[in-house]
Amino acid sequence: MNQESEKLGWKRTDGTIVVSVCGTWNVRDGRPEVEGNLQRLLAEGGVVKKVILKDAGIGAWDSALPVFLREVIRFCETRGIEYDLSGLPLGVARLLQLAVLAPKVVLPPIVPHTFLEKVGLLTLFVTCRFHGALAFMGEVSVAFLRVFTGRGVFRGRDFLVLIEDCGARALPIVGLISFLVGLIMAFVGAVQLSMFGADIYVANLVGIAMVREMGAMMCAMVMAGRTGAAFAAQIGSMKVTEEIDALRTAGISPMEFLVLPRMVALSLMMPILCVFADLIGILGGMVVSLAMLDVTVVQYVHQTAEAIDVLSFMLGIIKSSVFGIIIAGSGCLRGMQCGDSSSAVGDAATSAVVTSITLIIVADAIFAVTFNVLKI
């Protein structure tokens, strides 16, 4: 308050208010009170026609002064009071002029929505997303047919890079996760089964669980987080930088060029990863059994071989391939639906993971019911 009184003098004489401005003006010093002071002077009664601003020894000034003046001007304009800035340094007047004269940008108006509108918009958004997903599936099928019949664009080099990325490069993490999952299952099983002296059945437990469920499932989880998100981010950022537009104007379908290779690569690599995960998981189970229980390697392997049949093994493989299509599909779909900003790329990646994990669980449930009905 002290500072303010140094900088500003408010005086009223009949129909005019004189504001004398002096001292140094620095944005860091905070903002002087405008409305209150002017209101107070107005309230003294009578008509005020004019506000005059006077230079009473202004020192150094920065944006604080123009900001203050704009407030005064706004106050005067809303009440139809004249104002006179001619007594101020020329520089201030020029800056104010520039701010007034700069052309306004035309932007789409942002209207706040009522609750009902929000519900409506959300519904439209959801249906639009659903339509988008259907259209995407259609376009992928068309692209697949075109490439399959040799009319589409398919770059072998890109495809091999994708194969490497979805396959070989994923081995370490898939291996680690499935080893640990095998280990955990065997551990839990060993504690329970040894109470009944059924130690050796740990091999059945781990073997069947890995082969029918956990191998495919763990691969899918790892790949959804690793590769599905990467697909969404890659395609999404290509959208942001107009690379997708550049493909379109070059007459190249992004479906054939970007989406299809990713879907094919992942659905080819997933079964292989799944076999790998099965083996490593069983290995993990064996390590625990050897350490905790009274079984030998030969016994364990033999017991595992007895427990697993080709059919269960194939079921896991088929599932993993379907999961691969789901993961690559959701990744690419979310990438193609990505907005135009870098934060939209992050959203696309998140959304890809959420979508694929949800769909994987749903698909797995459908598989479980189907296999049960078919008694396999």
Partner 1 sequence: MSEDAEVKIDVRGLTMAYDDFIVMHDVDFKVQQGDIFIIMGGSGCGKSTLLRHLVGLMAPKVGEIYYGKTKFDVTDVRLRNVILRRFGVLFQGGALWSSMTLAENVALPLELYTELSATEIDEIVRYKLALVGLAGAGTRYPAELSGGMRKRAGLARAMALDPDILFFDEPSAGLDPVSSRRLDELILELSASLKTTVVVVTHELASIFAIGNNGIFLDAESRTCVAQGSPEWMLNYCEHPNVQQFLSRGKQV
Ligand X SMILES: Nc1ncnc2c1ncn2[C@@H]1O[C@H](COP(=O)(O)OP(=O)(O)OP(=O)(O)O)[C@@H](O)[C@H]1O
Per partner kind, with CB cut-offs from 5 to 8 A, the member of ligand X, partner 1, none near residue 4 is: none
Among 1, 100, 102, 106, binds partner 1 (CB under 8 A): 106
- Cα torsion for 219, 224, 229, 231, to the nearest 10°? 70
List interacting residues with ligand X (CB under 6 A): 106-108, 340
Instruction: Please give the Cα distance from 64 to 331 (Å, whole number).
Output: 50
47 vs 250, beta carbon nearer partner 1: 250
Instruction: Please give the Cα distance from 60 to 191 (Å, whole number).
Output: 80
Instruction: Please give the Cα distance from 71 to 76 (Å, whole number).
Output: 9
Instruction: Please give the Cα distance from 239 to 347 (Å, whole number).
Output: 13
Note whether 242 binds partner 1 by CB under 8 A. yes
Q: Between 260-292 and 215-223, two packed helices, what is the crossing angle to 10 degrees?
A: 130
Among 119, 198, 246, 305, binds partner 1 (CB under 8 A): 246
Instruction: Please give the Cα distance from 182 to 184 (Å, whole number).
Output: 6
CB of 132 to ligand X, least distance (A): 17
Window contacting partner 1 (CB under 8 A); options: 86-94, 106-114, 259-267, 361-369: 106-114
Note whether 156 binds partner 1 by CB under 8 A. no
Among 29, 158, 213, 347, binds partner 1 (CB under 8 A): 158
Instruction: Please give the Cα distance from 228 to 351 (Å, whole number).
Output: 10
77 vs 242, beta carbon nearer ligand X: 242
* Residue 48 DSSP symbol: -
6 vs 164, beta carbon nearer partner 1: 164
Q: Are 332 and 232 in contact (CB under 8 A)?
A: yes
CB of 244 to ligand X, least distance (A): 14
Please classify residue 52 by burial: count the beta carbons closer than 10 Å to its beta carbon, then call 0-12 exposed, 13-18 middle and 19+ buried. middle
Note whether 103 binds partner 1 by CB under 8 A. yes
Helical H segments across 108-249, by residue range: 115-148, 156-166, 171-194, 202-209, 215-223, 229-240, 243-249
Window contacting partner 1 (CB under 8 A); options: 58-66, 80-88, 105-113, 197-205: 105-113
246 vs 368, beta carbon nearer partner 1: 246
Per partner kind, with CB cut-offs from 5 to 8 A, the member of ligand X, partner 1, none near residue 340 is: ligand X
CB of 91 to partner 1, least distance (A): 20
Rule CB under 8 A: which residues touch partner 1? 103, 105-108, 153, 158, 234, 237-238, 241-243, 245-252
